C-alpha cells in the first residue's frame, strides 16, 4: 500500500510543480482545475501498482515466513479478487482525461491498449510471476499514454 501511495505522489507532486502560472502565483481554483487530471492519473497509477504489489506478494507467499502479507492473511483467492478489483477500477477511470477533454483521441488509443494489457493480467492471476510482468508492461504503455496525452 505504501509503495503504491508513493507512486501516486510522484504524479501529484510533479503535477503541482507544473501547475503555476507564469508569475509563479496561482489561485486555489486554478491549481485545483489543473490538478483534476493529475489526481486521475495518480489514482490510475496507485490502483495498477497496488494490484502489482499484491500479485508480487502472492508470488512470494512461500518465502515470506518472517512477515504476514495480505495474501497470507486473507488467502490467495481473496487477494486475487482485490487485485482484480484494483485493476478493473483503474481501467474504468482511465477514459476520464479524454471525457473531460483534457487529453485527445491518441491518449484514448494508447490507454485502451494499456487497459487491454491490464485485463489480460487478470486472466493470468493463477501465474503471479507472469501477471506481474504483464502489469509492468501495461504500466509502461499507460505512462506513454500519459506523456502523449499531456503533450498532444
Rounded to the nearest angstrom, the gap between the alpha carbon of residue 10 and the centroid of all alpha carbons in its chain is 12
DSSP class per residue in 4-46: HHHHHHHHHHHHHHT---TTS---HHHHHHHHHHHHHHHHHHH
111-142 tens-digit pLDDT = 999 999 999 999 999 999 999 999 999 999 99
Going by pLDDT thresholds of 50, 70 and 90, the confidence category of residue 37 is confident
* Confidence band for 12, pLDDT divided at 50, 70 and 90: confident
Tell me which of 2.60.40, 1.20.120, 3.30.450, 3.40.50 is the CATH number of domain 2-151: 1.20.120
pLDDT (tens digit per residue) in 51-104: 999 999 999 888 877 888 899 999 999 999 999 999 999 999 999 999 989 899
Burial-class residue 47 by CB neighbours within 10 Å (0-12, 13-18, 19+).
Answer: buried
Task: Compute the C-alpha angle 14/7/132, nearest 5°.
Answer: 140
Burial (Cβ within 10 Å: 0-12, 13-18, ≥19) of residue 112: middle
The pLDDT > 70 percentage for the chain reads 89
pLDDT for residue 18 is more than 90: no
Task: Say what the alpha-carbon torsion angle 75, 78, 84, 88 is, to the nearest 10 degrees.
Answer: -140
Task: Give domain limits for the chain.
Answer: 2-151
Amino acid at each position: 500500500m505504501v509503495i503504491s501511495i508513493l507512486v501516486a505522489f510522484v504524479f501529484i507532486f510533479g503535477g503541482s510543480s507544473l501547475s503555476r502560472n507564469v508569475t509563479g502565483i496561482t489561485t486555489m481554483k486554478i491549481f485545483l482545475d489543473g490538478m483534476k487530471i493529475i489526481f486521475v492519473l495518480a489514482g490510475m497509477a496507485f490502483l495498477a501498482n497496488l494490484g502489482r504489489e499484491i500479485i508480487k506478494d502472492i508470488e512470494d507467499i512461500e518465502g515470506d515466513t518472517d512477515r504476514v502479507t495480505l495474501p497470507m492473511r486473507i488467502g490467495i483467492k481473496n487477494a486475487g479478487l482485490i487485485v482484480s478489483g484494483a485493476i478493473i477500477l483503474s481501467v474504468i477511470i482511465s477514459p476520464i482525461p479524454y471525457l473531460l477533454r483534457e487529453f485527445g483521441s491518441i491518449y484514448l488509443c494508447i490507454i485502451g491498449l494499456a487497459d487491454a494489457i491490464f485485463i489480460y493480467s487478470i486472466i493470468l492471476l493463477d501465474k503471479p510471476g507472469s501477471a506481474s510482468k504483464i502489469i509492468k508492461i501495461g504500466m509502461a504503455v499507460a505512462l506513454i499514454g500519459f506523456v502523449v496525452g499531456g503533450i498532444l
